[in-house]
Structure 1
Amino acid sequence: MPHNIAILGASGYTGAELVRLIATHPTFRIKALSGDRKAGQPMSSVYPHLRHMDLPDLVRIEDIDFAGIDLAFCALPHATSQAVIAKLPSDLKVVDLSADFRLRDAKAYAAWYGKPHSAPSLQKESVYGLTEFYRDQIKSARLVAGTGCNAATGQFALRPLIEAGVIDFDDIIMDLKAASSGAGRSLKEHLLSSEMSENVKAYSVGGTHRHLGEFDQEFSAIAGHDIRVQLTPHLIPATRGIVMTCYLKGDPEIAFQTLSKAYVNEPFIQVLPMGEMPQMKDVRASNFCHIGVAGDRIAGRVTVIATLDNLTKGSSGQAIQNANLMLGEDETTGLMAAPVYP
C-alpha cells in the first residue's frame, strides 16, 4: 500500500538524502517538497543529481495541503522545527531530523541550546529515534525525534557495554572525526575548501558539543545514575562520514562478546571480527554502522571504534527506518543498498 510523504526542508543535505533514498522505496511516494528559500524551483535545479526523478516543485510549507499525507519528514534547521511541527495537523505522523525534540527535559534543552523550548508538550510526546533501542515505542509514535549523527555513532558503540556494566563508567573518553556535511549546506567560512583541505581541526572542546546532551540523557537512563563522558570532536577534510573512537577501561574480549551478542540480529549494525577496525569508506552512503573492538598493550583497556555515514544512518536513513516502523513496513524497506565504494 503506497504511503504519501512530504519532506519539509528538502533543499538541505538531509532533505536531498531523503529524496535519494526514497527513490528506490517501494511504497513511499513523495507528494510535497518544501524549501522556503528555493520555493518555486524544481528540485532538479537545486540538486541536479535528482533530475531523473519525477518530483513536485519546491514550495513554502504553508502552501502544502497535508490532506492525504501520511507522514512528514521535517529536515529543517534546529529551533525551526518545533514551531513548524506545532502547527501541523495533530494526526499527521512526523519524523523530525533536527535537534528540537531529542532531549526530553525542557531544562536540559534550554541549557544546551540557549533558549526555552516553544513546544514543551510535543517535547514530552516525542520518541527518541535510535531505532535499534526504541523500536517498540517508535511503532506507535506520532512524533519521532531523529538522533544527532555523532550521538548515534557513540551510542551504537557504547550502549550495550553500559547496559551490561562491563566498562568503567567514570572513565569514558570519546574521540570524534566528522566530515563537513554534518554542518549543513549554508555558507560557513571554516568549511571553505581552502580552509578544510589538508587540515584537521578540533572544535567544541571541553564538553560544549551539543550532542553531549544526548549522551548524558541516554547513558544516565541506562545506568540509573549520572554518566558524563569526555568528548573531543574533530572536523576532517571529507564530505560525509563519522568515526568515533572510544577509549575505555574493561576487558576487551568481554566487550567484544557483549557487542556481538547485542547486535547479532540487527540488520544494520555489524560488529567486525575481534581486532578488525572499521573505516568510513566501507559504510559510505549506506544505512550500515560498523563497529570494531581491540585490546591494548595496557591490561584492562579496550578501544571500540564505530563508523557510519552521517547523512544516511546518522540522519536520513535512520529517519526512513523509523518511518517504516511508524507506517507498518519492514524497517529495512528501501535501505538495504550496499555502500558506495570506493
Structure 2
Amino acid sequence: MKKVGIIGSTGYVGVELVRLLLNHPEVKLEAISSQSFKNQSIDSVYMNLKGITSLVCEDEDSVINKSDVIFTALPHGLSEKIALKTLEQNKLVIDLGADFRITDENIYEEWYGKKFDVADIHDFATYGLPEINKDTIKTSKIIANPGCYATSIELGLLPLVASNLISTKDIICDSKSGATGAGRGLSLSTHFTECNESLSAYKIDGHRHIGEIEEVLTSQSRDTVEICFTPHLLPINRGILSTIYTKLNNNEDLEIIHSVYKIYYENCPFVKVLDLGESANIKNIKYSNYCHISIHKDFRKDRLIIISCLDNMIKGAAGQAIQNMNIALGFEETAGLNLIPPAF
C-alpha cells in the first residue's frame, strides 16, 4: 500500500483530497501539512472529519519524507521547489497549482507575471489531463493537474480541434463556477450577501486559464487555437458549466459530430457524451469525477454549441489528481473515484 501526503491540506481542494484519499483502496494517507493550521489536527479545522482522522498538520519536509506520493494544493509559485525535493528522492508529486501547467516559460510569464523558479525540472513534468496524456502520465515524476475551468473547456473542445471540424480563431467560452473555485480565503465577492441571488462575471479582461487552455488545445490541433473566455461566479458551492460557441468549418451534420465525440472518448471512463437532445447539467455531476458533455447546433447558422459540466472540486481538482495518481502507480484508473452523483 502506497503512502500519500498532502501539502496544503486545509484549503478546499486540500480537504477534498483528504476526504477522497481516506476512502481509496490502494493508498494510506500518511501525512499532511498546512501553513495556516500548523500543529493542529485536521478534524479541529473540519468537523466533518471528527472520529475519522486526527492527522496533525506537519511541516512540508516531514510530509515529503513520510510519503511515496505528494499532492501539492498550493497557490502558484510555491510548488517548484517542493517538486525539486521530491525529484531528488525519486518520489511522485502531483501539483494542483499552476506551476507546471504551462510548458512555455514565455506564456507562463505572460499570465502569471513571473518566470519559472526552477526551469530545469519542467522537463520532467507532464500535463495531467488523462484523456490525452495517459501514456506520459504513467512514467512522469511531476504531474501538473489541470485547472478546473481548463478541464471543462478542453474536454469540451478536444474532439473538434483534433478533427479540424471548427475554426480555431472563433471560439467563445462562457463558464460559470460555484464559489469553492475562489478558495477558502475571504473576499468581498464571495460573501453571502454579495453572491447570493446574483450572477457576476469576473476577470473579463483575461483569466489566467486562457494561456493553459490555448497551449493544450493548440498541441492537439493543426492550427493555433485562440479563445475568448469569460468566467462567472454562481451562488452555489460547487460545479462548473461551460457553454462553448464555435463555428463549423464545413457545417457537418450534428449526428456526425456526435459520433466523433463518442469515438474520441470511448476509452475515457469519466467523460460521458450525452445523447443528442440532452443537455449537460451541474446537478448530474456534483460530487463525482465525471464530466458530462452535450452537443447542440444552431440550425439557423453553422454554429455548434458545446456544454461541458463537471464538479470543480473533483474532476476539476482533487478527483482528477487521484485519477492521475492511479494511472502513474498502475492502479485501476477509477480506483477510489466510483462516486455516483446524487439525484437531487
TM-score by length of 2: 0.95
Q: Is the 8 A contact 1:102 1:128 kept in 2?
A: yes
Aligned to 2:100: 101
The answer to whether structure 1 residue 325 and structure 2 residue 327 are counterparts is yes
Aligned to 1:210: 208
Q: CA deviation at 1:299?
A: 3.3
Between 291-300 and 312-321, report the one with greater CA deviation: 291-300
The amino acid across from 1:204 in the alignment is K
Q: CA deviation at 1:265?
A: 2.4
Q: Is the 8 A contact 2:280 2:294 kept in 1?
A: yes
Aligned to 1:31: 30
Measure the CA separation in 1 of the matches of 2:124 and 2:284. 36
Q: Is the 8 A contact 1:263 1:269 kept in 2?
A: yes
Q: Is the 8 A contact 2:42 2:49 kept in 1?
A: yes
Written as runs of structure 1 = structure 2, the 5 A alignment for 1:159-198 is 159-198=158-197
* Residue of 273, 284, 287 corresponding to 2:286: 284
Q: CA deviation at 1:127?
A: 0.1
Q: Is the 8 A contact 1:150 1:211 kept in 2?
A: yes
Aligned to 1:43: 42
Measure the CA separation in 1 of the matches of 2:119 and 2:6. 23
Q: Is the 8 A contact 1:36 1:61 kept in 2?
A: no
Written as runs of structure 1 = structure 2, the 5 A alignment for 1:234-273 is 234-250=232-248, 251=252, 252-273=254-275
Deviation string, structure 1 residues 180-212 (Cα, Å, up to 9, x no partner) = 111111111111111111111111213x11110
Q: Is the 8 A contact 2:297 2:303 kept in 1?
A: yes
* Residue of 72, 75, 83 corresponding to 2:73: 75
Secondary structure class of the residue paired with 1:37 = coil
Q: CA deviation at 1:116?
A: 1.5
Runs (4+) of structure 1 moved beyond 6 Å? none
Aligned to 2:154: 155
For structure 2, list consecutive stretches of 5 or more residues without a partner in the other structure: none
Aligned to 1:127: 126
The amino acid across from 2:215 in the alignment is Q
Measure the CA separation in 2 of the matches of 1:189 and 1:80. 25
Deviation string, structure 1 residues 205-228 (Cα, Å, up to 9, x no partner) = 13x111101122112112233211
The amino acid across from 2:289 in the alignment is N
How many pairs were matched up? 339
Q: CA deviation at 1:55?
A: 4.1
Deviation string, structure 1 residues 150-175 (Cα, Å, up to 9, x no partner) = 00000111011100111122211111
The answer to whether structure 1 residue 302 and structure 2 residue 300 are counterparts is no
Secondary structure class of the residue paired with 1:248 = strand
Aligned residues with identical type, % of pairs: 36
Aligned to 2:59: 60
For structure 1, list consecutive stretches of 5 or more residues without a partner in the other structure: none
The amino acid across from 1:16 in the alignment is V
